[in-house]
Structure formats: structure tokens, C-alpha cells
Structure 1
Amino acid sequence: MDEVIQKQTNVQYRIQILSAIKRYYEYLVMTGARKDHPSKKLNIKNKANQDIQLQDLFSSEELQLLLQGENSYWFLETRNNVLLSLLIYQGLTSDEITNLELKNIDLENGTIYIKASKTLNRRTLELLNKQILPLSKYIDEVRPKMLRCKSDKLILKKLGKPISVDGIHSVTESLKSLFPDRKLNPQTIRMSVICNWLNEKKYDLVKVQELVGHK
């Protein structure tokens, strides 16, 4: 790193190199060439840097564990299942979830419409079969009982009003005990979903760009 900084002072450059080195040692451990991972706990300190380390993201199997959390209130189980499934299957942002309305869900065709924002494109995404039943139950049974004001917003908070970005963060915050040594929030979930689409499902870059709405 001392040699690198002489050529390039940008801290992001060093972070990318260290990330690549970590991936290389992970490969050596996976293939049996080494038993230890000497760079696993190394990080580049940068107070201004908020980037997520790629090796700290979550696999598809790990994301599935988020759907198994227990809730104190019966109606939150279905709501949280719907909310978390939109994070881990469609890779939506917190803002996109707060802006979802009932009319954006088409259960008959199994799709969800995402509105455009200043930074992301509008798009229509497919729902997984496993999402249809919880969504139907939430929309037809749970949401009407939760509702305490006139609103077409899809996701409600515990007190029956439209959920906020902070409310979504609170839901993921309550699940941090599953991964105490990693950052678990809507942003890291979305980044994990993007990486898993590329690396596990082998989607091409253009398809992933369309799925996540990147301009």
C-alpha cells in the first residue's frame, strides 16, 4: 500500500486493490491452496469513506434468513415478509418502497411497477411465486386492519400510517443479531442483491442495470 500511494493518492484506488486481494485469498482458501486468510481483517481507514466492502455483503442464502425473523405483533409478520421480500428479491431502495402504492401491484400478472425518481428509472419487475400469497394476504386482510388514515401507500407502519425510510431501517435494524459483525441495512441488502445477480445468477450487466433502475 505504501508503494501504491506513491502512484495514486486516491483512497478508493487502495480500497479496490485490497478488495481484490481479499477475493484472491478467498479463492486460495476455497481451492485448498491455503488454510489461512491473512488479509481477511485488513481494511483501509478513511473517515470520509462510506463504501461497503464487497466481502462483507450477503449471499442469497443469508438474505433468506431475514424472512425468518419473529415479530411481537401478528400483523407485522406478514407486513415484514412483504417489505423484506421487496428488498431481497427486487433489490428496491427504501425510498422506492415508501413510494409504492396499491395500484403498483399487479398480482394477476405477477408484476410490480416502480416509479421513476431523480436518480433511478421507472421499471416493471416480476414478482416471485413465493411473494404472491403474502402480498395477497397483506393487501386483502392485514393492511385494511392496520390502516388508520386515508392512504393508498402499500406499506404501513405499526400505527397504521405510511411507513417512512426510518421505519424501514428499523425493520432491518431488528434483524442485526443474525449478522452482528456486518452492516445490515437496506443499502447493503440492495448491494448484495446486485452482486448476487451478477455473480450467482450470472445476469449480464445490462439486465442488472435495468432491474435496479440505474440510469
Structure 2
Amino acid sequence: MRKKPEYIFNKEIESKLTSFKIYLQKLGNGANTIRQKSNYAGYFLKWLETEHLQPEETRYNDLLSFIDYCKLEVDALSGVEGNSKRHINSKLRSIRNFYEYLKQFNPAIINPATNLNLKGIGQKLPSNIIDFKELENLYQSFESTTNREKRNKIILGILVYQGVTTEELHQLEPSHLKLKEGKIVVPGNRRRNSRTLELKPIQILELHEYLTEIRPTILKEITAPRPARKPTKINHPKIENQLFVSINGSENIKNSLLHMFKAIQKLNPEILHPKQIRASVITYWLKNHNLRQVQYMAGHKYVSSTERYQLNNLDSLQSKLEKLHPLNGAKSDY
């Protein structure tokens, strides 16, 4: 992939970025994140050179000048002028990470990007919210005859009743099920907190059958000759630790979810993807639990993430108020 001109650096900057990348890797950052953060840190170091500044000399006011520079810059490839606030904040986060890396060698160095963020970035609100009764009807009417369909219905149940993400579905292991207690442990990651959630009685019965009969059969059949295309190499230790596995032995259940949602859309064309189900579930939870409870149930690290979903309830309330307003012809009960 061809680098943008602003991310092409001299040997001195590249040398600094090499050890920064190793630092990020040790922190557990993925390849794409490391590439982006090193590009943004290099972009900042390149700007420091033009301003004849050293990183250890840079202060808060210098960062304000850097932000102004980002706002005025014209993209050499697209010709678009100015970075968005979101883009600038990403650069500032990378700069903070770079100074945290520098502190390993110079603990006295000041991080000028600490607590520096551009405000006023609007977050996209959850949309296409489905009424929870419709989700329950979908779950109850979902056909489950074959092992594949039974597995898919259990996945659908966890989406509807526990509101998990697809990433969390991949992380679930058999040990996360506490069927005697009627609970499931959803593991955390860098973006979400772990939590322990209640299972519905019908889920407990289905999950017991899945663990004792369906899943062992699927794992056994994975190695049997099949006409369908299979991964060239099956990672048996990996899939044996996963709660949900592809019928064809893939570690990734993305295709399984894709086929599952094609079946779902035949039952309810309005339900398009797992994110929509999760948004609908969180919106429903907010009608029945307080904000902090829902924050925990959803695994949100920040309460602001949960507050976004309150707007869906406000819109619903506003619609009801408009119907009852005297000017809209509603009769009064006085």
C-alpha cells in the first residue's frame, strides 16, 4: 500500500518510530493500530522539525499550534483542506502514547497532550431500533431442526437476551457458562468491560443440550470428509476452546452469522445485523433499569456510551406526548 506523502519520514524519525512500534506491540496493540499510531507520531515529529522543536521542549501551547496546523493542512492526494476534529483527536491520542513511551527513558519529560481533546464531536446515534417484543418473537419463531440451526438459535438468544457484540461471541468459551447458577460471564477486552449476566430458563435448557450433544457432534464432524470447502488447516486447540465454531471448522464464525441473518431476514426483513439487535436491547434495558445498571450490562467502559441510547427512549416519549397534546386533538381526562 502506497504511503501518503505526510507519512513518509526521514531516517532519524523512522529510527525513533521503530522502537515506538515495539513499545506499542508489547502493550498488545494490533498491527493496524500500531501503523496508525506510528504514522501520527511521525507526522507530529515531522512538524516539530519544521518548528525547530525537540519533543522534551514541547509544551501545551505548542500543541495548540500543531492543532491549528492540522486544521489548515491540505491533503496532498485528495485536495481536501483540514483534518476533522475526530482525526485530530486520533493524532493527539497517538502523541500522548508517544510521550508515555518517552517517559520510560526520561521520567521527568512533560506530556503536553495530557487531557487535550477537541470537543464538539457528535457521536452517531443508534438507529433502526426494533421493539423488544419483535426480537423475542423472532427468537421464538426461529427454526431449529439441524445442529447448525440449533447453534444459530442459541447465538440469537445470546444476542437478544444478553446484548453481546459479535467480537464477544468469538471470545466466549464453554467455561464462561455457569448453567447451575443460570449465568453467563462475558469476557472483557480493551473496549468493553467483563460482566456476569442472567440467562433465561429456556436458554439454560438449550445451552445444556448444546454443550452435551450438539457442540461435541459438530467438533467430531469437522474432521469428517465433506463436499463443502474447508479451511486448509484447522486449528483444533483453538476451536475446541471456543463456545461457538463454524460447521466447516473455521475459527471465525463471521460467515455463520452472515447465513444466520439471511434466515432472520426471511422472518423479519427489518432486522439487518447484530449491532442493530444490540442497540435495540440496550434501548429496552434503559426502560427497565437505571443508567449504571445498563452500563454494567452492556459492558460500556464509559457511562457516556450508555447515555447515547437514552435518546431513543426520549424520541419514543416525545412521540407519545405529541399524540396526547391537546392541540393534536386528544381528549382530556379532566
Instruction: Give the TM-score, by structure 2 length.
Output: 0.45
The change in CA–CA distance for 1:165 and 1:51 in structure 2 (over 3 A counts) is: farther
Give distance in 1, aligned partners of 2:132 and 2:181: 25
Give distance in 1, aligned partners of 2:208 and 2:138: 20
Answer 1 or 2: higher relative contact order, Cα 8 Å, separation at least 6.
Answer: 1
SS in structure 1 at match of 2:180: coil
Give distance in 2, aligned partners of 1:174 and 1:166: 13
Residue 198 of structure 1 aligns with an amino acid whose one-letter code is L
SS in structure 2 at match of 1:80: helix
Give distance in 1, aligned partners of 2:290 and 2:130: 20
1:20-169 equivalence runs, <5 A: 51-53=125-127, 56-67=128-139, 68-70=141-143, 74-147=146-219, 148=222, 149-150=236-237, 151-169=240-258
The change in CA–CA distance for 1:158 and 1:136 in structure 2 (over 3 A counts) is: same
Query: CA shift at 1:106, angstroms?
Result: 1.0
> Do 1:91 and 1:193's aligned partners in 2 also have CA atoms closer than 8 Å?
yes
Partner of residue 186, structure 1:
274
Higher helix share: 2
> Do 1:116 and 1:123's aligned partners in 2 also have CA atoms closer than 8 Å?
yes
> Do 2:192 and 2:300's aligned partners in 1 also have CA atoms closer than 8 Å?
yes
Give distance in 2, aligned partners of 1:61 and 1:183: 13
Structure 1 residue 209 corresponds to structure 2 residue 306: no
**1:166-199, CA deviations, whole angstroms, 9 ceiling, x for partnerless residues?**
432431232112332x352100000000011112
Query: CA shift at 1:90, angstroms?
Result: 0.2
> Do 2:271 and 2:277's aligned partners in 1 also have CA atoms closer than 8 Å?
no
SS in structure 1 at match of 2:206: helix
Query: CA shift at 1:50, angstroms?
Result: 6.8
**1:123-152, CA deviations, whole angstroms, 9 ceiling, x for partnerless residues?**
111111111000000010000010133411
The change in CA–CA distance for 1:60 and 1:169 in structure 2 (over 3 A counts) is: same
Instruction: Give the TM-score, by structure 1 length.
Output: 0.68
Of 284, 299, 305, which aligns to 1:196? 284
Count of residue pairs brought into register by the alignment: 161
Query: CA shift at 1:69, angstroms?
Result: 2.5
> Do 1:173 and 1:185's aligned partners in 2 also have CA atoms closer than 8 Å?
no
Q: Percent identity between the aligned chains?
A: 33
Unaligned runs of 5+ in 2: 1-122, 223-235, 302-334
Partner of residue 266, structure 2:
177
**Aligned Cα root-mean-square deviation (Å):** 2.0
Deviates more, 1:166-175 or 1:112-121: 166-175
Give distance in 1, aligned partners of 2:294 and 2:251: 29
Query: CA shift at 1:61, angstroms?
Result: 1.4
